Amino acid sequence: MRTSQLYRARHLLPIGTPPLEDGALLVEAGCIRAVGSHRELAAAHPRAAAFDFGDAVLLPPLVNAHTHLELTGAAQWAAAAGDDAVPGDFVDWILQLVRLRRTVTTAELRAALTRGLEQSLRAGTGAIGDIFTTLAAADAYAGTPLRGRVFAEVLGVDPERVTARLAEISARLGTPPAPGLAWGLSPHAPYTLNAATLAATLDFARRHDLPLAMHWAESAAERELLEQGEGPFAARLYPAVGWPCSPRSPGGGGTGPANFPPGSLMIHGTHARAADIETLVGAGLAVVLCPRSNSRFGATRAPLAAFRQAGVPLALGTDSLASSPSLSVWDELAFARQWFAGVLDPADWLAIATAGGAMALGLADRLGRLTAGREASFQVVAVPAGATAATLAEALCAAGEQITVLALVLNGENVLPLP
């Protein structure tokens, strides 16, 4: 009986080590045993079952480190509600999203989440960091082969309501959302919690050993609210949802990023300052970049060069279909490469979209690179038109929606959904 498999492609990109032409992976029991030239591995393991992908690229799955898959139906909900006007700014967008969420049922959210999971797999995504609000729809995750974390969302300024929400989350922590998914916690943003509710959320995370994911330093409006208690959030968002408003003293009372559990994620970071970046490094926090979403609400770019120079771990996320045109990290990668032109080279971007995301989600020992000892998880894509070995990384970064995912193997199993 054949107990090993040999996967070959014209190009193999291990990530972190030089690419291989006519490379191959030797896999046994869902684990990578060797990476090298096809000729040498085939000669050394003649009884291995052979899988030849031909003129293709074999590389790690992409990691979508920040998304909201339950919002996959946002465009359809907006059309059905007659509320599909383009928002004027970030606050208008938030208020529109609040209105839309009130129009849909749990069944509709569950169906949207299911579609989002399928779209992720089709795009070559192997792991996610998903922000999740509708706890009653958690069963939608059950059959997915995706790895990563589901961050249960918490927001609000009423301590009693937040306490009740945390109790709901606590009741679910004993059962993972799916075999490859673990729980995390998402205090939504500094502008949607106050000192008391954020402190309660952080305490809950510490007691249950949960990493956090928070939208952070995303807009100028956030700074205005935190520092002066003024601006668009104070003038329009808070009155619309019936919340009192006052400056938040970011970091005061032990609730700033410096007090977040190691391994937590700060999402966006477009308005991060030098002192903020020092805090991230000291606390061991990663930043998930979502450039397509950020570009929708102004031209503010995250301080990518400063993050990189300081050694802040970086990952990519698509955000949701409420703010981005697709759930494909390939599309996000193409936009990021163009928007941050000249800051990083293609190999760096590919590493951020694979190994960077895996590290951010606590999966670095399993995913993100193709090396002996990691699980047999990889994707196979068609070689972009005209690409050569010398131009392959650039071609992959630029291809976006032109990328054709031929196979997605997670833990030794091809999990690509049927068309």
Q: What is the pLDDT of residues 114-160, one digit of tens each?
A: 999 999 999 999 999 999 999 999 999 999 999 999 999 999 999 99
Q: Residues 107, 248: contact at Cβ < 8 Å?
A: no
Phi first, then psi: what are they for 197, rounded to 5°? -75, -35
User: In angstroms, rounded to a whole number, what is the distance separating the alpha carbons of residues 181 and 127?
Assistant: 9
User: In angstroms, rounded to a whole number, what is the distance separating the alpha carbons of residues 375 and 125?
Assistant: 15
Tell the residue number behind the tokens 């309660």, with chain if given: 200
Q: How far, in Å, are 39, 283, 366, 375, 382 from residue 372 at the CA level? A: 18, 31, 10, 8, 24
**pLDDT at res. 417:** 80
Q: Residues 183, 177: contact at Cβ < 8 Å?
A: yes
**pLDDT at res. 2:** 60
Residue 419 in any domain: the answer is no
**pLDDT at res. 1:** 42
Residues 265 and 375 in one domain: no
In which element (H, E) is residue 106 found?
A: helix 106-122
pTM for the structure as a whole: 0.97
* 373 CB-near residues (< 8 Å, 6+ apart): 31, 32
Residue 273 has pLDDT above 60, yes or no: yes
* Boundaries of domain holding 119: 62-360
Q: Residues 375, 61: contact at Cβ < 8 Å?
A: no
Residues 276 and 158 in one domain: yes
User: How confident is the model over 71-87, as a mean pLDDT?
Assistant: 94
Q: What is the pLDDT of residues 149-198, one digit of tens each?
A: 999 999 999 999 999 999 999 999 999 999 999 999 999 999 999 989 99
Residues 27 and 92 in one domain: no
Residues 122 and 176 in one domain: yes
Mean predicted lDDT score pLDDT of the chain: 94
Phi first, then psi: what are they for 407, rounded to 5°? -155, 150
Residues 235 and 338 in one domain: yes
DSSP 418: P
Tell the residue number behind the tokens 């989440």, with chain if given: 113
Tell the residue number behind the tokens 């995370």, with chain if given: 205
Q: Which among 317, 355, 354 is positioned nearest to 216, based on CA atoms?
A: 317
Residue 134 in any domain: the answer is yes
Q: How many domains, the chain?
A: 2
Residue 237 in any domain: the answer is yes
Residues 124 and 84 in one domain: yes
User: In angstroms, rounded to a whole number, what is the distance separating the alpha carbons of residues 45 and 61?
Assistant: 25
Residues 376 and 299 in one domain: no
Residue 155 in any domain: the answer is yes
Question: How many other β-carbons are positioned within 10 Å of the β-carbon of residue 291?
Answer: 25
Residue 282 has pLDDT above 80, yes or no: yes
Report the CATH number that the domain containing residue 332 is assigned in CATH.
3.20.20.140
Q: What is the pLDDT of residues 41-63, one digit of tens each?
A: 999 999 999 999 999 999 999 99
User: In angstroms, rounded to a whole number, what is the distance separating the alpha carbons of residues 10 and 407?
Assistant: 15
For 232-263, b/e burial (b = at least 16 CB within 10 A) is bbbebbbeeeebebeebebbeeebbbebbbeb
Q: Residues 123, 348: contact at Cβ < 8 Å?
A: no
Residues 319 and 377 in one domain: no
**pLDDT at res. 298:** 76
Residues 44 and 90 in one domain: no
DSSP reduced 3-state for 313: coil
Q: Which among 274, 236, 270 is positioned nearest to 87, based on CA atoms?
A: 236
Q: What is the pLDDT of residues 378-390, one digit of tens each?
A: 999 999 999 999 9
Residues 231 and 318 in one domain: yes
Residue 388 in any domain: the answer is yes
Report the C-alpha dihedral over residues 324, 330, 332, 338, rounded to 10 degrees.
-130
Q: What is the pLDDT of residues 320-371, one digit of tens each?
A: 999 999 999 999 999 999 999 999 999 999 999 999 999 999 999 999 999 9
